[in-house]
Amino acid sequence: MLDHAREALVLVSGKDRSAFEADRLLQLGVVRLLEIVGEAAARTPQAVREQHADIAWGQIIGLRNRLIHGYDTVDLAIVWTILADDLPRLRDRLEEILEPSSGL
């Protein structure tokens, strides 16, 4: 989850929403990375999810399902909001969990 969240954020780094909406390859890449984040969340053991209940596991998995099955109706405004607001917080939280000695 962490690696793919980081990669998605790197892809949109320095870009604004209009640049994102104008770049079809960027959209496709980011959507694919978000699908992988959601798939990884779905494969996370229930005990781990319960231990880190502050993470919105259901929403992350739900996003993956929406992207996979509703590909023809993906709302890029919502994807951008996730990239701008939610994904950085998820990345930071996963770093706290997985890399506690890094000081992040």
Catalytic residues, which ones? 64, 69
Q: What CA–CA distance (Å, rounded) separates 42 from 102?
A: 26
Name the phi and psi angles at 97, rounded to 5.
-75, -45
Residue 15 is given by DSSP the state -
Query: C-alpha distances in angstroms, 72 versus 28, 39, 60, 68?
Result: 12, 19, 19, 9
